Amino acid sequence: MVYITVGATASEATFEELKAVVTAYAERARKEEGCVGIGFNVTGLKVTVIEQWTDQGVYQWHENQPETRAYANKLRDLIVQPLEYHGHYETRMPLI
Res 16: pLDDT: 98
Looking at domain 2-89, its CATH class is alpha beta
Rg (CA), the chain: 14
Give CA–CA dist 89/20, Å, rounded.
28
| Domain edges within the chain | 2-89
Q: Sheet containing 84-89: which strands, arranged edge to edge?
A: 35-43, 46-53, 2-9, 84-89
Which regions of the chain does DSSP assign to beta strands (E)? 2-9, 35-43, 46-53, 84-89
Whether the pTM exceeds 0.85: the reply is: yes
Q: In percent, how much of the chain has pLDDT > 90? A: 90
Q: How sure is the predictor about 88, in pLDDT bands with cuts at 50, 70 and 90?
A: confident
Q: For residue range 48-75, what is the model confidence (pLDDT) as tens digits? A: 999 999 999 999 999 999 999 999 999 9
Q: For residue range 25-53, what is the model confidence (pLDDT) as tens digits? A: 999 999 999 999 999 999 999 999 999 99
